[in-house]
Amino acid sequence: MAHITINQYLQQVYDAIDNHDGSFCAELLSFKHPHVANPRLQLASPEEKCQQLLEPPYDEMVAAHLRCTYAVSNHDFVEAYKFQTALPVMFSVTLDLRIFANSAEQQLQKKGKGQPGEMLEKAAEQLMSCFRVCASDNRAGIEDSKKWGMMFLSNQLFKIYFKINKLHLCKPLIRAIDSSNLKNDYSPAQKVTYKYYVGRKAMFDSDFKPAEEFLSYAFHHCHGSSQKNKRMILIYLLPVKMLLGHMPTHQLLRKYDLMQFADVTKSVSEGNLLLLNEALSKHETFFIRCGIFLILEKLKIITYRNLFKKVYLLLRTHQLPLDAFLVSLKMMQLDDVDIDEVQCILANLIYMGHIKGYISHQHQKLVVSKQNPFPPLSSVS
């Protein structure tokens, strides 16, 4: 493969097309295949040769691919991505397109040129047109339908949208897949990836119950051997579960090398605001990089609730002096909190349904319900 001539290569492509051998053809157009290392195939202007031996549209496609190999051999990823569009062929090409766009991004960033995200956005536009073609394919029968490409393309697009931080663009894709009758018939791997991204989107929109559903599905159906993928899913599943009141075990955290969550978990369940703040700042970089820092901050409200519940359990009365809560916060080294803020925090917990009761300003007391004043977290949305 590394020594064949351009004519021999084109002949192989022609044969593959003629025999409807989609997967071999895809290989011949993929950058994962060793033929791309062959300098004889790295041509700056292969169009004539391709036109001689192949029919349109294949001549164009292959010519583009060969120009691509030329560009890549010259480390010019910007040029390469410009030359990148049968489903396995499309899969392979679009995957490479996204990867090239990534490299082109990095290359541009190094030179300090261009708007960040520009290359990826352009790649996304191209993928989106592929998606529209697939989604509107009503002609062929189910086996040949281009609709099978929809989930793959969505997943590629999700990756880009998350990278360039334009999550709102995921919505039309989700809607299209949801309304498709094929949605449960895609391959397990594609479904796992899909649910992972939809789960993350739901998290971002603060829809925690659906987020838990999607991410749990992805985690349980993810192949046991891909530890790395399971860990990635867990990074997003854990905060959601914690917000719903389910703390992970140390075992689980150790198994997937996610001990950064250990202190967070401990502090939330103990109502220890001090430890929570320390844990969040200690692993700040990691949490920010994963994009979960902001979600974890939401755990503060849960932590307040747990702390105040402790105060209630300690005092064993239904009429709790506000001062007691103030003292508990001062013990957590929150020195700039005063009694007004305590009332505000309590009022918010009551509003959110975490505490059943009311505040009496005249008596400076929190009066809680005699029955279940701190409802379980999972019952409060």
Span from 31-39, 156-164, 223-231, 233-241 in contact with another protein (CB under 8 A): 31-39
Should residue 123 be labelled a site residue for another protein when binding is judged by CB under 8 A?
no
Nearest to another protein of 44, 313 (CB atom): 44
Is residue 148 within 8 A of residue 190, CB to CB? The reply is no
Nearest to another protein of 256, 267 (CB atom): 267
Should residue 160 be labelled a site residue for another protein when binding is judged by CB under 8 A?
no
Contact positions with another protein (CB under 8 A) in 169-208: 204
Could you list the beta-strand ranges (E) of the chain.
319-321, 357-360, 365-368
- Bridging pattern class, strands 357-360 and 365-368: antiparallel
Rounded Cα–Cα distance for residues 211 and 201 (Å):
8
Write down the least CB distance from residue 340 to another protein, Å. Answer: 5
Nearest to another protein of 316, 361 (CB atom): 361
Q: Which of 18, 20, 56, 111 binds another protein (CB under 8 A)?
A: 111
Should residue 225 be labelled a site residue for another protein when binding is judged by CB under 8 A?
no
Rounded Cα–Cα distance for residues 281 and 264 (Å):
10
- Measured from the Cβ of residue 375, the count of other Cβ atoms closer than 10 Å reads 15
Q: Which structure tokens are listed for 358? A: 């009311």
Nearest to another protein of 74, 129 (CB atom): 74
Tell me the DSSP string of 244-313.
TT-PPPHHHHHHTT-THHHHHHHHHHHT-HHHHHHHHHHTHHHHHHHT-HHHHHTHHHHHHHHHHHHHHH
CA 140 to chain centre: 32
Rounded Cα–Cα distance for residues 304 and 295 (Å):
16
Should residue 20 be labelled a site residue for another protein when binding is judged by CB under 8 A?
no
Write down the least CB distance from residue 302 to another protein, Å. Answer: 11
Nearest to another protein of 135, 349 (CB atom): 349
Should residue 37 be labelled a site residue for another protein when binding is judged by CB under 8 A?
yes
Write down the least CB distance from residue 218 to another protein, Å. Answer: 22
Should residue 294 be labelled a site residue for another protein when binding is judged by CB under 8 A?
yes
Q: Which of 178, 361, 370, 376 binds another protein (CB under 8 A)?
A: 361
Q: Which of 7, 8, 19, 74 binds another protein (CB under 8 A)?
A: 74
Burial profile 354-365: b = 16 or more Cβ within 10 angstroms, e = fewer: bbebebeeeeeb
Contact positions with another protein (CB under 8 A) in 272-291: 288, 291
> Which of 156, 238, 162, 228 has the alpha carbon at shortest distance from 190?
156
List 367's β-bridge partners, or say none.
319, 358
Q: What angle do CA 95, 99, 103 make, to 5 degrees?
A: 165
Should residue 139 be labelled a site residue for another protein when binding is judged by CB under 8 A?
no
Write down the least CB distance from residue 351 to another protein, Å. Answer: 4
**Which strands make up the sheet holding 365-368, listed edge to edge?**
319-321, 365-368, 357-360
Should residue 113 be labelled a site residue for another protein when binding is judged by CB under 8 A?
yes
Should residue 5 be labelled a site residue for another protein when binding is judged by CB under 8 A?
no
Report the interface residues with another protein, using CB under 8 A: 2, 31-34, 37, 39, 42, 44, 70-71, 73-75, 79, 103, 110-116, 165, 204, 288, 291, 293-294, 297-298, 300-301, 340-341, 343-348, 350-351, 358-362, 367
